[in-house]
Amino acid sequence: MKNNKNTTIIVAIIAVVVIAGITAFAMSRNNDNGMMGNNMMSETANSQSVQADKSSSDYKEYAALKGEDYDRKFLSNMIAHHQGAIEMANLALTNASHQEIKTLATAIVSTQSSEVTNMTDWQKTWGYPASSGTMMMDHSSMGMENTNAGMMQSLDGKTGEAFDKAFLEQMIMHHQSAINMAATGKTNAEHQELKYLTVAIVSAQTKEIQQMKQWQKDWGYEN
């Protein structure tokens, strides 16, 4: 009897230890998952904050430029900016799940490719250094190219719903940057052609942002 009693006590102790270990492990996993989720949310918030700061900086930078200085800077950077949008849109044509995004992407590729051609021609006509292609002389757009690369990286490896969510987030920020660059063009640009273009960019991309935000709401992508 005594041996049986001791055995029972030992089994009970082992059971308590095992249960305590399992509980501790579960709590540790929950804490790790919670920290991971918080870190991901923090990184997203930080990214959006950085983009917002850059967007504000874009507006201030271009608002301070007048005449030829505005035109030269705007063309150099907007050509690179459009090329980034075209690259993202081409990726959407194959990776997006919603037809609405593919339709938008087709429009972006068509419209902005045409605008890049016009802006490149204006650089030549107005005697500004080329900022793209084999004759590239103006390297001021390299910062914009780095921004484009970062946005493309955020879409890398994503397909379907995950791609659509990321694409809308990135393209909304990308469009807002273009709007801020073009916002003062109507008054600050030297050439009438550029005045018309900047007004068209603000109008078109403002409407597209509104549409993309509605899709975020309709498809449950809002954070």
Residue 176 lies in a domain: yes
184: CATH: 1.20.1260.10
Q: How many structural domains does the chain have?
A: 1
Residue 120 lies in a domain: yes
Higher pLDDT, 94 or 29: 94
- Retrieve residue 161's tokens: 């719903």
Contact 180, 97 (CB under 8 A): no
**Containing structural domain, residue 122:** 54-218
Residue 36 lies in a domain: no
Per-residue pLDDT, 7: 47
| pTM attached to this predicted model | 0.73
Over residues 67-109, the pLDDT tens digits come to 999 999 999 999 999 999 999 999 999 999 999 999 999 999 9
Higher pLDDT, 51 or 211: 211
Separation between Cα atoms, residue 63 and residue 55, nearest integer Å: 12
Span between the terminal Cα atoms of the chain, in Å: 64
2 has a pLDDT exceeding 60:
no
